[in-house]
Amino acid sequence: MTAETHPTVSALGDEFGSAVLRHLVSAGDEHVVYVEAERVGEVLAWLKEAPSQRYDLLRDVTAVDFGGGRPLEVVYVLWSVPHRRSLRVKCELPITQLAVPSVTPLWQCANWLEREVYDMFGVEFTGHPDLRRILMPENYAEGHPLRKDFPLRGRFSRAEQTRRALSQDPHDHYIPMEMEIGEPQMPRPIRTSLPSPPTTREASE
């Protein structure tokens, strides 16, 4: 299937006009369509619901940060079971405006996929039902690890990272419902400092 014969590419151009920014073929046969970020939700809804398209499977949602202040790309990997064809849809977001509509109303599997992109890249998915970290602790304060501006060793010193790791509370790792179930058996947090040495008088006693 060539770029000229992929049925969805030409149909997108007819349906959305200038909102389809460009089309390219990657790795020999992967068709990629760039669309305006403001209309990506509308485009994806049409791709899923139009009988001539029926991209009913969302295989992945991810992102790419090229660094150097360049726009970050959000990537949607789609597959049409009825028509047996794939498509990648991308939109570009300025580093200062990392927000795009959630597609969880279209594909429920986007729930965790979008949370991962939010966690690793800092993209806000507006309308997401529960947008919070999924890989890093909820109180993780060093930023988004897959961003190109993220330091190799993290933003905190090794000593600070160790101190934070040792002082973590079980509440940092569980959602409230899980805490209610297991709270009576939760271990106490590890102490991060040694007790003060006894005074001369206390030692003699």
Q: For residue 118, what are the contacts with CB-CB under 8 A and spacing of at least 6?
A: 124, 125, 128, 131, 132, 133, 134
Alpha-carbon distances, residue 7 vs 41, 79, 86 (angstroms): 20, 14, 11
| One-letter identity of residue 70 | R
| Res 2: pLDDT | 46
Report the pLDDT value the prediction gives residue 3, as an integer from 0 to 100.
46
What are the beta bridge partners of residue 79?
57, 86
Q: Which amino acid is present at 118? A: Y
Q: Give the model's pLDDT for residue 58.
A: 98
The pLDDT assigned to 190 comes to 55
Determine whether domain 7-135 maps to CATH 3.30.460.80.
yes
Comparing CA positions, the residue from 99, 101, 91, 93 lying closest to residue 127 is 101
Which residues of the chain have a pLDDT value below 50?
1-3
**Under DSSP, is residue 67 helix (H, G, I), strand (E, B) or coil?**
coil
